[in-house]
Copies of this chain bind each other. A is one copy, B any other.
Amino acid sequence: MELLAATLASLALGTPALAQGTAFMSTPLETASSLSAADIQSVSPALGRYAKEDVADGLWQRPQLSRRDRSLVTVAILIARNQTLDLLHYINLALDSGVTPRELSETITHLAFYAGWPNAMTAIAVTKDIFTQRKIGPDQLPAASPQLMPLNEQAEATRVASVQRLLGTAAPGLDQYTTDPLFKDVWLRPDLSPRDRSLVTITSLMANGQVAQLAGHLNRALDNGLTQEQAGEVVTQIAFYAGWPNAFSAGPVVAEVFKGRSN
């Protein structure tokens, strides 16, 4: 027990901002993790170096994605892959970088559908304590049943037809819940923009190597206002936070979608 307790303690203590009770001030990027630099170096001096040179001073300074977007993408990757250790660090970073509590709440809600209900529950378990610490209460959260944005009837009809072609009558429950709540409720909730919803959706797909659904959602993302430069940079963020193979599975699909839109 002692070893594991010590590990858990070090994980929490490894989050400097939280340990110092200043989580709402500024979350440092230098270790790219909830772990401290000393912890990382005690096992991998190389990763200690890459954390600074390539991640904090490199990747996170690239202008293709704002720090706000990049932290939202990173939180989406961690939720999609159910990785609790660094979620603590990156949720704080996101809140420090301009992602509002409303947007974070909606991101978790959205990913319950795209990454699975239990992933969202884990994210809630971590976020709940961060919200308590930052004194973020119900007044800063989205309503359970807000006024929805209008449905694009034509896009919805296209989507329904496409699902019909894919599934036929094999899974009528999936048809039903994809229409409502997913497309007639979740996607129309106003506290996360369609562009951001698309951003966390394509991020989640790439993070888990789910390239079969990527082209469709990437086209939707570009229609919703994400730029090609931003979408390409998500692939780069995926490489670091979900591993090179997932980036290299997503990259060719992204290139193909870009080509398709330039014709």
| Chain A interface (Cβ < 8 Å from any Cβ of B) | 1-15, 18, 32-35, 39-50, 53-55, 58-59, 62, 64, 78, 81-83, 85-86, 88, 105-106, 108-109, 112-129, 131-133, 138, 141-145, 166-174, 177-178, 181-182, 186, 189, 204-205, 208-210, 212-213, 228, 232-233, 235-236, 239-249, 251-252, 254-255, 258-259
Which residue of B144, B169, B181, B247 is within 8 Å of A171 (Cβ)? Answer: B247
Taking the nearest CB of chain B, how far is it from the CB of A163, in angstroms? 8
Contact A47 B245 (CB under 8 A): no
Task: From known contacts A32-B117, A117-B32, A245-B210, infer whether A81 and B81 are also in contact, taking CB-CB under 8 Å.
Answer: no
The 21 sampled A-B contact pairs (Cβ below 8 Å) are A14-B125, A40-B124, A43-B127, A44-B109, A44-B120, A45-B138, A45-B142, A46-B189, A47-B109, A55-B117, A114-B243, A114-B244, A116-B246, A168-B258, A170-B255, A171-B232, A171-B233, A172-B236, A174-B232, A177-B236, A213-B248
With A10-B129, A86-B117, A210-B245 given, can you name 19 additional A-B contacts, CB distance below 8 Å?
A3-B18, A3-B129, A4-B9, A5-B8, A6-B129, A7-B129, A39-B125, A41-B144, A42-B132, A44-B108, A46-B105, A46-B144, A47-B120, A50-B109, A50-B112, A116-B241, A173-B233, A210-B249, A213-B249
